[in-house]
Chain A
């Protein structure tokens, strides 16, 4: 028989300890705050306003239109104009500009023949800048900018690029990163807190006493999880609230669905943490194991790189991670105003993961010292 009185006793004890542990308490607020600012402002994978030079040999309408389209992306700033490519190349050498756009005189002919319209001469020393300008390769171009959505694109355009433009016209990272960051922050804090929860009692010697009492493993597991569910929900509010205020990340989904989806992921992460806690022998080991889970959660969950672009083996690993499923749920809910019910597969997976996690943690947590 499970005793609710015992669960409550352990739970209240846990909350009191949490409230007195200032460092952990600070982490609850500071981790989302620092990460959000770092990822939102500092780690900006969208490179903008790269200083470049222009060599326009066409002097016609098409050339000017192409120039305007490039300008509109805000990726480059035309700071210089040269008459010959040779002079412009020298400017790259001195570091005055990072790239040169050369619009040839036969641009109309190239347009008609569906050939590349113009050349970029790029300073390849900085790969990020190289990548940013290479990204312009597939830039959609049309002779009539007002009918851009009508789809009269003359050059072959990259489909994904078009899709990205649709939801995020200025290609800002924050919109995509903030909901993803929620998944990363929650995996980090939730798994870490609970992975330490039981090991800490073991290290401090509390466990030796606790296992001689009538407390049952499942009671202990449940009581250890519940307080952190509320901690997780506070973090959800902090991240999405600040994302909205600081980075204008729109929140399209219904609040109760966002909370419910988050709740599923929080529970799954806590269950995973508990499982780690029953496996680890010391707090240090628990932290190492947490990192072991955290790293793929950041790299493979779709937070850093799109899931679709990953090799099949990596996708299998990604499927096993709760973060991947939550990434889909939260981006769907927050950005595309999807319904939670339409994401039922991911939700179901998180729910099942939680149940299995708690069950196995309770199984692994034997009340003996053998």
Chain B
């Protein structure tokens, strides 16, 4: 059996009358990249903060790296890395100074500290920026520095709270390369995101909405057990067609993608293309094709419930 790094049972966190996290249970295996996918305000950050001991859970048990949280949070801090949603290093210090500072905080000193800082500067391509004041750097550069600082203590477990919200797609791809490197070295990574492409890269995924986990599993599993077939319709008058379709009980949802309409039809309809043509005569001359599900479809199909 694989080793569990994070175990949470019936975890809830309440702020006043607001249930930010509502009775979630969670298991994260060692070496995995585990993603929390969900819209803003769905409780992703709160969950991370509870898991790191920054917030005390209202109810439920949490065990991280074999330590009871929040009671043993102090011991945990030496073994984890944390990258906050908002950039949180010192803008009036240079790249090198920030790295040194974080290294010292984690108890590194002398030659060991210098060697580790150089190693991180190498790994994260910060050579040219070494003496630069952080305040003037770009989003991608700041993010690389944040990751370098968060991993300076070689953490067993790394928490990343929306790490790529302020960077462009190219930097995001490079960033994920680094995460896969870390994962291969045995670091467990817990990452929150609201980007589908980013979520697709995770080993496992939990889709969160209103403080609850709506679905979890590997991205492939999630796509397979979705319970809908997808038909792409290419025709004119998509806007009016869309409003007609979503009124149908057998249609889970419909979303427009340029000139196509992506229609999610429940699995109990055996042949969705014929069914659609028979239900809607105006579709006889339209181009209908069955499509492969994407994570966005999964997301839409599991999170709609509370909106209806």
A residues sitting closer than 8 Å to B (CB atoms) are 3, 5-6, 8-10, 12-13, 16-17, 20-21, 204-215, 367-370
How many angstroms between the C-alpha atoms of A212 and B53 in the bound complex?
A: 8
Tell me the bound Cα distance from A326 to B25 in angstroms. 58
Q: How far is the CA of A207 from the CA of B90 in the complex (A)?
A: 10
Does chain A have a CB within 8 A of B248? Answer: no
**Is there an interface contact between A369 and B54, defined as CB atoms closer than 8 Å?**
yes
Q: Report which residue of A208, A209, A367 has the largest number of chain B beta carbons within 10 angstroms of its beta carbon.
A: A209
Cα-based distance from A242 to B53 in the complex (angstroms)? 52
A6 touches B105 (CB 8 A): yes
In the complex, B107 has a CB within 8 A of chain A: yes
| B77 in complex: contacting residue of A12, A21, A208, A213, CB < 8 Å | A213
Q: Tell me if B93 counts as interface (CB < 8 A to partner A).
A: yes
What chain B residues lie within 8 Å of A17 (beta carbons)?
A: 90, 92-93
CB distance from A6 to the nearest CB of B (A): 6
22 A–B contacts from the bound complex (CB under 8 Å):
A5-B104, A8-B104, A9-B101, A9-B105, A10-B101, A16-B92, A17-B90, A20-B92, A205-B84, A205-B86, A205-B88, A208-B84, A209-B84, A209-B88, A210-B105, A212-B77, A213-B102, A214-B74, A367-B73, A368-B55, A368-B56, A369-B55
Contact between A206 and B89, CB atoms less than 8 A apart: yes
Interface residues of B in 4-61 (CB under 8 A from A): 49, 52-56
Contacts of B54 in A (CB 8 A): 208, 211-212, 367-369
Known A-B contacts A208-B84, A209-B84, A368-B54; A16 and B97 likewise in contact (beta carbons under 8 Å): yes
CB pair B82–A209 under 8 Å, yes or no, is yes
Bound CA–CA A209/B159 (angstroms):
11
Residue of B53, B78, B93, B104 near A368 (CB, 8 A) is B53
Hey, what's the 0/1 contact readout for B90-125 against A, CB within 8 Å counting as 1? 111100010001101111010000000000000000
Chain A residue, CB-CB nearest to B87: A205
Cβ B105 vs Cβ A215 within 8 A: yes
In the complex, chain B residues 214-231 whose Cβ is within 8 Å of any chain A Cβ: none
Chain A residues, Cβ within 8 Å of B62: none
Closest CB-CB distance, B6 to chain A, in whole Å? Answer: 15
Taking CB atoms, residues of chain B closer than 8 Å to A12 are 101
Residues of chain B contacted by A20 (CB below 8 angstroms): 92
| Chain B 266-306 near chain A by CB (<8 Å), digits 1 or 0 | 00000000000000000000000000000000000000000
A205 to B77, CA, bound (A): 18
Expressed in whole angstroms, the minimum distance between the Cβ of A296 and any Cβ of chain B is 34
- Contact B89 A209, beta carbon cutoff 8 Å: yes
- Say yes or no: B107 contacts A3, CB within 8 Å: yes
Instruction: Verify B91–A204 contact, CB threshold 8 A.
Output: yes
The residue in chain B whose Cβ has the minimal distance to the Cβ of A213 is: B105
Kindly identify which residue among A16, A207, A214, A370 contacts B105, using a CB–CB cutoff of 8 Å.
A214
If A13-B93, A17-B90, A206-B89 touch, whether A212 touches B55 (CB-CB below 8 Å) is no
Residues of A within 8 A of B102 (CB): 213
List the B side residues contacting A21 at CB < 8 Å: 92
Known: A206-B89, A206-B90. A5 touches B55 (CB 8 A): no
Question: In the complex, A113→B105 CA distance in Å?
Answer: 82
Say which residue of B74, B87, B89, B109 sits within 8 Å of A5 (CB atoms). B109
In the complex the two chains form, is A5's CB within 8 Å of B107's CB? yes
For the complex, is B163 an interface residue (Cβ under 8 Å from A)? no
Query: Does any Cβ of A come within 8 Å of B80's Cβ?
Result: yes
Which of A9, A16, A367 is close to B104, meaning CB atoms less than 8 Å apart? Answer: A9
